[in-house]
Chains A and B, each alone.
Chain A
Amino acid sequence: MPVLFYIAAAVSIIAALNVVLQRTPVYSALSLIVVLASVAVMYLLLEAPFIAMIQVIVYAGAIMVLFVLVIMLLNAGREAPGERNRLARWLGGPLVVAFLAEIVYVVWRQFPPRTTHPAAPADAAPVAIGHLLFRSYVLPFEVTSILILVAILGAVVLAKKQL
């Protein structure tokens, strides 16, 4: 369904630009949610509904709520252009152009695409993903969770000077 893809792609690109261009942090955060949601739509189009739902639950639902909450708590208003922005103004443009050129080059080199069909739906089924996570990649999976736990503990220790 190419039409749906183009709609999702257009929405995600416009929202992504909005993340960068908005000066009010809440608007940027909201645009980022739209980006994540439209990426979820693309997962759906690639016949990976499980990944799409997880994308919405974890990124759009859980992580971005924390972003929005922090912005609300700090009551961050409009950002004023600061001292550092002068450097960004001179370097930003050329860097963006270089980055875009890089992407265009990589995509162009891959064209026409070698694999024309999306991953088989069976690979994206919840059962298949579960088998991958808890059989083939169980060690990396568990190590990652320990890493995250360490990060949480570190954050608590840093935030609370006295425990």
Chain B
Amino acid sequence: MTTSSDTTVFLFIAIVKVAVILFVLLTAIAYLTWLERKVIGHIQSRWGPYRVGPHGLLQPLADGLKFMFKEDIVPTEADRVVYWLAPFIAFVTAFLSISVIPFGESFTVAGHKIALEITDLNVGLLFIFAVTSLGVYSVALAGWSSNSKYPLFGGLRSSAQMISYEIALSLGVIGVLMLTGTFSLRAMVEYQRGFWHVGGVALLPHWNVFAQPVGFLVYFMAAIAETNRVPFDLPEGETELVAGFHTEYSSFKFATFFMSEYANMITVSCIATLLFFGGWLGPVFGPSWLHVILPVVWFCLKVFCFLFFYIWVRGTLPRFRYDQLMAFGWKFLLPVALLNILVTSFAVAWINA
């Protein structure tokens, strides 16, 4: 039976968790922009931001302030309601999906079990796909409601790209679903505990990436396209479309789109970590408080590696042409993902038999 004090404690814990996660996420987004500019700078033999604070560390703050004080311009012929709605949809869908992502072992404080996530849905992965599939609207509607040529082209391109790569994205993880037999992200991580044994020697961690390398590659390539990043950033192709769907957005509405893009990058990296790289699993030792901290550290490190990879790719690869992008998605990624599902299902059936 739940008493009213139990409910109060539950509410208190939930609100604290939401506040902490939101704060960490927003800070991570701010410093991801700094990291991106620094890393790209060094790749191109520049210093990147250096003026505001030591090593430009206060640059995100300055950017945020600048966005807030810029004039907010709405095109005269824009569809006001939808124009306002689009950044909201982008923001909500980007931040909602983080709520089901677990990032550490649960622990007990004063008799209350605290799970390190906002909520553990048993359809967690599907929830993320559902929310992501709604994210397409922000792009499409932003492009349409601006009532301007380039945003419309950008919006159309972007929606077509997101719809096409969403298929590869979902099919890429089906192999993992078949192996683990669950939609719950926490259960998927638990499945990866332990080691792969080769000839009686614990050789590799029992991560899904070693069982599903093809699935991982398909997932991650589709994820880069899904977040509209280089080399799939045609919707924002500066040379042809000014800035794509958010050309007509200024001030804080633009910042909202910008933050959602980075939030999506973080979400996608979190899912890659959880599904393929064992989530928070890693060597744990020392006193009991380290048993709580270390998994979170491993999780953050793995996510950081993915984010760094994102930026690295941006500093390295040129942009695809639009027909190449569509051909790559439909004629390469999709068949490979389907083949992977076929092979995996035969393997699973063979092992179970």
Contacts and interface: CB of A to CB of B under 8 A. Distances in A.
- Interface residues of B: mostly helix, strand, loop or mixed? helix
A109 B130 CA distance: 37
Q: How large is the interface on B (under 10, 10 to 19, 20 to 34, 35 or more residues)?
A: 20 to 34
Given A57-B129, A72-B155, A73-B156, A49 B140 contact: no
Interface of A: 26-27, 30, 33, 37, 49-50, 53-54, 56-57, 60-62, 65, 68-69, 72-73, 126
A65 B126 contact: no
Contacts of B122: 49
Nearest to A64: B137
A25 to B, nearest CB: 11
A29 B140 CA distance: 13
Contacts of B133: 56-57, 60-62, 65
- Interface residues of A: mostly helix, strand, loop or mixed? helix
B82 A26 contact: yes
B137 A57 contact: no
B256 interface: no
A146 to B, nearest CB: 18
Interface string B132-173: 011011001101100000001001100110010000000000
Contacts of B143: 72
A72 B144 contact: yes
Nearest to B79: A26
List of 3 A-B pairs having minimum Cβ-Cβ separation, nearest first: A61-B133, A53-B126, A56-B130
Nearest to B152: A72
Given A26-B79, A26-B144, A69-B159, A53 B136 contact: no
Contacts of A50: 123, 126, 183
A57 B141 CA distance: 18
Contacts of A27: 81
Nearest to B170: A57
A61 B123 contact: no
